[in-house]
A and B are shown apart, each in its own frame.
Chain A
Amino acid sequence: MDAIILQLLNGLDKGGAYALIALGLTLVFGTLGVVNFAHGALFMLGAFCAVSIQSLLTISKQVKDESITFFDAYKEQPYLEIWWGDTGTAIIDWAVPLSIFLAIPIMLLIGVAMERGLIRHFYKRPHAEQILVTFGLAIVIQEIVKSFFGANPIPTPSPEIVAGSANIGLLLGLGESVVYPWWRLVYLLFSGIVIFAVFAFLQFTTFGMVVRAGMQDRETVGLLGINVERRFTVVFGIAAVVAGLAGVMYAPILPPDYHMGMDFLVLSFVVVVVGGMGSLGGAVSAGFLLGILQSFASMTEVKSIIPGIDQIIIYLVAVVILLTRPRGLMGRKGVMED
């Protein structure tokens, strides 16, 4: 029972990340009709917003390393610590949550620049060309990040106060062994809030209404005199922000490296396909569903029955769903079928 609860939490947590990335992918696909393979790179850029803030806060002075005695060696000490002592250390400690405030404008800017600068030139081109250009863009972004930050993962810890794990077993009246990292619980809550915010934005604002209408029938909305394109540019920016925030908050769980976006991209595409192309609700529910299934498939008991199932479960589910429901769980008729 304990193991099942833990794997359920793992699944929800993983699912939260999948859902956030897939949500952005679907949003872009549903509005602009573009299959954006650079979306994983946006997730990675978000994580590197956290790394950048941490690097900015830890800009250091070269001080002599007294522990090396046989020649003059230097080590680094952050200016914040030199100037403000413990307060400086505390600010550095909160680098990841602080990054959220920076990530929102930066990711919005990157998203809009990406759409205006490159992707809009490919709206009327075949999907294959869109995939090629966005995939190429993803590689370019990756290499740029690598040239600045190197190939090694960079530790980006969560604030000390949420660094440990919560004894949820005691809270729920289960055993003492049911512990779960605080930061992962924070991530789960955070992904829930972001998903809710995106849905609320689309559901309860005029802007959102136009976007939803545009997703249904772009031509008619355009004929009504509404500049759909401009709104869709903003949508691309929002999708970038969602992916970026997912990345920022994921940095303490997975020390960021230049390749982390690619690792998530493939899974997120499967999530979109399983959920149904263009369906926001489908993307979110498929994200959580596949996250949970992947976690359960990794249990030793399950692996002892079907070895290697943890590595193929997601693709197996995708195959089954596509065979039984070719449009995905919540796919709409007519999307990508022309």
Chain B
Amino acid sequence: MSDHGNALLDKPQVSGPLPSAPALTRRRLPRWTPLAVALVSIGLGVGAGSLAGWESRTQWGLIAALLFVVITYAVTSLVEDRRQARDRVATSVIWVCFVLAVVPLVSLAWTTVSRGAKLLDGYFLSHSMGGMTNLEEGGGVYHALLGTLEQVGLATLIAAPVGLLTAVYLVEYGRGRLARAVTFFVDVMTGIPSIVAGLFVLAFWNLGLGFGPSGFAGSMALAILMMPVVVRSTEEMLKLVPNELREASLALGVPKWRTILKVVIPTSIGGIATGVMLAVARITGETAPVMLLVFGNTLINPNPFSGAQESLPLYVWNQYKLGNAASIDRAWAGALTLIAFVMLLNLVARGIARWKAPKAGGR
């Protein structure tokens, strides 16, 4: 490394004064070049596509993108140099990546909203599927909404305290092997596929203890999925609480448990609430464990502890499986209800995070 540097430094001395002062600026392409190249390549892409008679607009786009990259490289390496050309190609590839990703995601959002809005109204939200034949139009999502709220609420009641206390343990008490084991297994638990959590509760609760399907069984599986998320986020938030606060409280003779309850947790309560709500949002959309354990029901069953229930994601899946025009419409409307619910939770959670953010927070 140092040899290399010296060689660079020595060079001017060896070669003596340069024959002619090098230009400080190089030849550069004008600023509008990318736009011009884009227009040309789109024109060529559309031209080639329509001449060859290809129907797929995606194909036209791909050809245009390819042309754009090639033309940019050629023009830049002619006018500027190879390094600049490579830089421009990299820039355009990264833009293409961005566009590539945005297209399906926008399409997903647009399709859900436009097709779901057709059926989504007060009637849809306030009626169940009771007494309906599969092909009939109408019906609603009330029973599923109720089921989802109950199952997710129960799961939160189980998972939030356990997750919170575990995080407190890891941050405030945890030392040694137990804490390391808990940390590791929380990480591992984050990655459990939802269907495996469902299978576990099935093996334990339904096959092992002989209970039938119920909302509560689903809640247990959802709680397993929720716990590690709550632990992770709460842990991060508790770590953000400055140590000076703890020390000040302890120095005043306050017991440790009161320090945690009255100083540490209130300081980070915004972040903790955000984490819990994001976890709730995550489990609300889980379909697989609910399908195994809650089973689905077309009637309103307000009791989560006995009998099959419905839930929003399960409703979408069941209506999709029926496969006729009316049920597909209902599936989209259910999907829109679900996505609206999840997004609302997300937005509120992030709102809380911004509102109550500790000074050290934020990236």
Say if A and B assemble together. Answer: no
